Structure 1
């Protein structure tokens, strides 16, 4: 079943994802994109409020994106209806992500509107919460995504 803009309801909640945070991935990401000592070394992180090596918040955002894309790719028609995003509001990192954490997501649709300039698409705003294995809130964000409208 397709999942066009018209199929999406305000208040709809989806739960998805299972992402194991791997130590080497944390170090590799940080080495390339956010080479701060507390992302690269337990010894350096121990001297900070992190206490132990912590994933970059940008890496956490990337892990969310990997889970989201894997989720929508389970339905090729839904994948085809996803047209990218206009941006993200209110990105917050509530606690650090550490190697060994297992992440999952909840997404709630909070707004929708038809594009005034592009009638072939609608705009969906969602509230995303990323949790760890202990159901602790790790990150929240509100993506503003474009979805294909149902062909006439």
Structure 2
């Protein structure tokens, strides 16, 4: 298996080293249709307020709304299309927080913002770095509909060779 390096991956624009704590990027918008909401719910979350406009009117939402999982999937689509496909992404070990804060209705225009809050090299994989991020999705009224926090793994452009245990013990301490 060949290692991914800047030389053999010219399509990669963002490596772990390029991702700065505090940086934020807008990752585009998406507008779900009634048909898309019903299709997703039919397959993955067949609750009446996601499937039937009449049943949805009687629900706490008052209207047909997207599944929270559909909202997550739309956020993921924007993330992949507008960032991850140009990065050295290696996937994610998982989420720490997920909140659906407002319902998403047909025709809403959703905008995704991604903010980096932390980064560090992985201790057991020196060629990989972890990046902690906050994903916030807003509707056309500026209301937050989704808040997610979690980690992504990214290949590093520059990898320091691992030092032996003896070298770590013998290394000088201090500033």
Q: Give TM class, smaller chain.
A: over 0.9
Q: Counterpart of 1:85 in 2: which secondary structure? A: coil
In the alignment, what sits opposite 1:27? 38
Partners of 2:13 and 2:43 in 1: how far apart? 38
Q: Structure 2: 5+ residue runs without aligned partners?
A: 1-11, 160-175
2:92 match: 85
Cα offsets for 1:17-64 (capped at 9, x unmatched) = 110111101000000000000000111011111000010000000000
Mapped partners of 1:150, 1:34: distance in 2 = 40
Aligned partner of 1:138 in structure 2 is 145
Structure (1 or 2) with the larger CA radius of gyration: 2
| Residue 89 of structure 1: how far off its partner (Å) | 1.4
Structure number with the higher strand fraction is 1
Runs of 4+ in 1 over 2 A off after TM superposition: none
Calculate the aligned-residue CA RMSD, in Å: 1.3
Normalising by structure 1, what TM-score? 0.93
Gaps of 5+ in 1: none
Q: Which has the higher contact order (CA 8 A, sep 6+)?
A: 1
